[in-house]
Amino acid sequence: MRRVALEGSFAAAEAARIADVDVIAAYPITPQTHIVERLAEMVADGELDAEYIDVESEHSALSCLLGASAVGARTFTATAGQGLELMHEVLYIASSMRLPIIMAVANRALSAPLSVWGDHSDAMAVRDSGWIQVFAENSQEVSDLILWAFRVGEDRKVLFPVMVHLDGFHISHVTEPVLLPDKEEVDRFLPPYCYPLPLDPDRPVTMGAYGPPEIYSEAKKAQEVALRESKEVILRGWEEFRDAFGRSYSPVELHPPQGAKTLLLTMGSFSETAQLAVDQKRRKGEDVGLLSIRLWRPFPFEELSGAARDAHTLIIFDRSISFGGPGGPVACEVKSALYSEQRRPKVVSFIGGLGGRDVSQKEFEQMIDRGVEIVEKGSLGMYETIGIRD
C-alpha cells in the first residue's frame, strides 16, 4: 500500500493498471482525457502490458471493447458527457450481451450551450442502459470503486459492465492523497477474468444473435432479474474489499448513522460539501443528517427506505434536469422508491450545480432551511432551483 498525491483521473488510471487490464480502447474527451492519456503513457513506457487501441470515436471505443471482452480480455475505458452519449447504443449492447467492461465516467454537462464542465446530465441519460453504476465522492473512492468494479462485474453470477462515475473537474482534476494497493494485494482480491462462454474457434458460440418476438421478452426479463440479483455480489464485493484493504463501502451512507429528523440527500462529490453544511447545522443543535447514494444501479431500494424511514423531511439535491418531467432524476427515483412505504418523509427537490456551477456550503445550508420551511408551510411544489440567477 502506497500513499500518493494523485488527481482523480490518475487514481482511475492507476486502478486500471493494478487491475492489470488487457485491452483499453478510448477516445480523449474533457474532463476524462487525463485518465486515458495516463494509461497510454503506461502502455508506451512498458509499465502496463496491455493493448491500447486508438479509435476514431467513443462509439468505436466501446464497440472495440465488446469484442475484446467477448474473447475473455479484461477491458477498461473512460469517457464523459457527449462521449457517453455517442456510446449510447453500444452501452445497451454491452449490458445485454453481459460483457463486463469497466468504464470511468468523468461526469460532464451536455451541450448546448457547449460545456465541458461537470454535472450529472450525462449519467442520467444512460441510467436505464443496464450497467451497474456507482458514484464516487473523492479520488480514493474512484480508485477503490474501479478495483471493486472489476471484482463484481466479472463475477460469473454477475457479468455486467460497470460505470464508475466521478464528477468532472471536482474529482477528475483535483489532487488528493490516495492509498494505492500493491499489485500483489490486488491479485489476491481480484481473480483472473474468466468469461464462461468466450469466442473460441474450438468451442463455437453465437453472440448478439437476432432475437425475434418469440424470445426477446424472455431475454430482457433474464437480464433484468440478473441485474437485480447482482446486488448480492455487489455487497459481498464491498465486504471482501473491506477485508482486503480496510475501507468500507455501502449502497447508501447515512451521516450521522442514527436517523436525523431532516435529511439532505446528495450523490457524488458534492456530498462532501453537503456534509460540511450538515456538520455546521448540527453544531448549532439542529437535527440534520446527510444521506448519500453510492449505488445508483441496481437502485438500493431497501437501504434507501431504511435510511429515510425515520426522517420527517428529505431534501434531495440533483445536478441535472429531466426536461418537462417531474424535476430532478434522483428526486424522482427516490420518491418512487418511497411511495409504497407506510412511513416516509416529505420530499423536497432542488436542482443546481449545472455545467460546473459550484454549490457552496452556505448554499447547502440555505437549501436545508428552505426545505424545512417548504414542508412546515405545506407548500410542496415540484422542485426549486439553487444558485440560479432570477
Partner 1 sequence: MNHKLSWRELEAGCILTQPGSASQYCTGDWRSRRPVLDEEKCNKCGLCWLYCPEGAITLKEDGSYETNLFYCKGCGICAHECKQGAITMVEEEE
Q: Would you tell me which residues interact with partner 1 (CB under 8 A)? A: 96-99, 159, 196-197, 204-212, 214-215, 217-219, 221-222, 225-226
Nearer to partner 1, 137 or 155 (CB): 155
Q: Are 352 and 319 in contact (CB under 8 A)?
A: yes
Dihedral pair phi/psi, residue 311, rounded to 5°? -80, 155
Q: Is the dihedral of CA 206, 208, 212, 213 positive or negative?
A: positive
Residue closer to partner 1, measured from CB, 204 or 285: 204
Q: Of 207 and 235, which has the nearer Cβ to partner 1?
A: 207
> Between 213 and 324, whose beta carbon lies closer to partner 1?
213
What span, in angstroms and rounded, lies between the C-alpha atoms of 216 and 219? 5
Is the Cβ–Cβ distance between 87 and 59 less than 8 Å? yes
Closer Cβ to partner 1, 225 or 388, answer by number? 225
Query: Shortest distance, CB of residue 203 to partner 1, whole angstroms?
Result: 8
By CB neighbour count within 10 A (0-12 exposed, 13-18 middle, 19+ buried), where does 184 fall? exposed
The answer to whether 294 touches 252, Cβ cutoff 8 Å, is yes
Task: Rank residues 5 and 205 by Cβ distance to partner 1 and give the closer one.
Answer: 205
Least distance CB 129 / partner 1 (angstroms): 15
Q: How far is the CB of 20 from partner 1 (least distance, A)?
A: 24
Pairing of strands 288-293, 262-267: parallel
Bond into 219 cis (ω within 30): no
Kindly tell me the sign of the dihedral angle through the C-alpha atoms of 170, 172, 176, 180.
positive
CB nearer to partner 1: give 78 or 158: 158
Pick the closest to residue 166 from 151, 176, 158 (CA basis): 176
Cβ closest to partner 1, residue 95 vs residue 266: 95
Task: Read off the C-alpha cell for 212.
Answer: 425475434
- Closest contact distance (angstroms) between CB of 95 and partner 1 is 9
User: CB 72 → partner 1: shortest distance, Å?
Assistant: 13
CB of 223 to partner 1, least distance (A): 8
What is the nearest approach in angstroms of partner 1 to the Cβ of residue 214?
7
Cα atoms found within 13 Å of the Cα of residue 335, Cβ hemisphere only: 16
Rounded to a whole number of angstroms, the minimum distance from the CB of residue 216 to partner 1 is 9
Q: What is the DSSP string of 340-377?
A: T-SS--EEEEEE--GGG----HHHHHHHHHHHHHHHHH
- The three cell numbers locating residue 260: 436525523
| Partners of 253 in the β-ladder | 292
